[in-house]
């Protein structure tokens, strides 16, 4: 396809508009985070008259941010690890075995993404309450309940993504390993998993991002002891005052783990997405 000069300029204009649309809010967040609260409450200025790092220091004392960090890290790590492990096993079974209901299972897994999350909020809450009444296991307000909730949304997409990835891997690889004496599970762990590493990392990043920033279910299914970061940030706003500079500073700090994770796995993530696009 030959690109005309008009198309090239149109693409440049569209990309510029998108870049400005993304960059301006980020700029306002950063500049607000380094302003004193008095400047934030005053007339908005594009450049702070006084630059200070006090908001980044005060955020740890205003609310128990470190505790929220710990809760988010525990829940997100467990949900991501559980989703990846189960997705690898399920995707391998769907891609390698022929069984009754295989197609229906794949359609049901994918169809779960058709419904909005709020539709499942009340049923999950009632299920957790009933489980506690019946067998005495508390899921509402616990790490386990939030991990299970997040996995119900990250696991179907993870299975769907990895199924396509495993289907593209030649059967001869695992058959050769099994001829050498390795069992099926050994062939999966020693041969297929290393080959599918980019796809698995892409799935892990997807699960981590969705769990790290989730607000809806965390606002209902957590307690004061298990409150996560997205809910904890609301503590910077009270009925009397909103600490905008600390809220923006905390938002930047909260975003760092995701940003660092993206940078760390960027090479594998790009390879996984490229391979998925080819399929």
Cβ(162)–Cβ(87) under 8 Å? yes
Those residues with Cβ within 8 angstroms of residue 26's Cβ, 6 or more apart along the chain or in another chain: none
Distance (Å, whole) CA 276 – CA 268: 12
Tens digit of each residue's pLDDT (9 = 90 or more) over 10-55:
888 999 999 999 899 999 999 998 888 888 887 778 888 888 888 8
End-to-end C-alpha distance for the chain, whole angstroms: 22
Look up residue 240 and give its DSSP letter. Answer: S
Per-residue pLDDT, 120 = 83
Q: How far is CA 114 from CA 6, 117, 125, 153, 158, in A?
A: 38, 9, 20, 11, 15
Identify the H or E element spanning 184.
helix 184-187
Tens digit of each residue's pLDDT (9 = 90 or more) over 168-206:
888 777 778 777 777 778 888 888 888 888 888 888 988
Helix (H, G, I), strand (E, B) or coil at 225: coil
Instruction: Tell me the pTM.
Output: 0.82
Residue with the larger pLDDT of the pair 242 and 24: 24
User: For all residues of the chain together, what is the average pLDDT?
Assistant: 84
Give the chain's domains with CATH numbers.
Answer: 62-236+261-278 (1.10.3720.10)
Distance (Å, whole) CA 27 – CA 46: 9
- Average pLDDT rounded to a whole number, residues 221-226: 87
Look up residue 236 and give its DSSP letter. Answer: G
**Closest-CA residue to 248 (of 55, 45, 21, 49):** 55
């Amino acid at each position: 396809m030959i690109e005309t000069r008009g198309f090239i300029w149109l693409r440049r204009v569209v990309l510029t508009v998108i870049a400005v649309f993304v960059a301006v809010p980020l700029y306002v967040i950063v500049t607000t985070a380094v302003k004193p609260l008095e400047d934030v409450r005053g007339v908005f200025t594009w450049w702070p008259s006084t630059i200070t790092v006090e908001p980044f220091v005060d955020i740890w004392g205003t609310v128990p941010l470190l505790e929220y960090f710990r809760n988010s890290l525990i829940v997100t790590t467990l949900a991501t690890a559980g989703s990846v492990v189960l997705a690898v096993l399920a995707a391998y079974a769907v891609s390698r075995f022929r069984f009754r209901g295989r197609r229906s299972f794949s359609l049901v897994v994918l169809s779960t993404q058709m419904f909005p999350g709020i539709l499942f909020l009340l049923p999950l809450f009632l299920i957790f309450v009933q489980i506690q009444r019946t067998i005495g296991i508390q899921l509402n307000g616990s790490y386990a309940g939030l991990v299970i909730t997040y996995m119900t949304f990250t696991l179907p997409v993870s299975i769907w993504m990895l199924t396509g990835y495993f289907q593209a891997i030649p059967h001869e690889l695992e058959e050769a390993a099994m001829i050498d004496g390795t069992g099926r599970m050994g062939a999966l762990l020693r041969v297929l998993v290393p080959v599918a590493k980019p796809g698995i990392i892409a799935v892990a990043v997807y699960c981590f991002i969705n769990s790290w920033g989730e607000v809806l279910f965390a606002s209902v299914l957590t307690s004061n002891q298990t409150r996560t970061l997205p809910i904890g940030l609301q503590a910077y706003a009270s009925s009397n005052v909103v600490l905008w500079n600390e809220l923006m500073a905390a938002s930047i700090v909260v975003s760092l783990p995701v940003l660092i994770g993206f940078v760390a796995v960027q090479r594998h993530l790009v390879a996984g997405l490229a391979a998925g696009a080819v399929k």
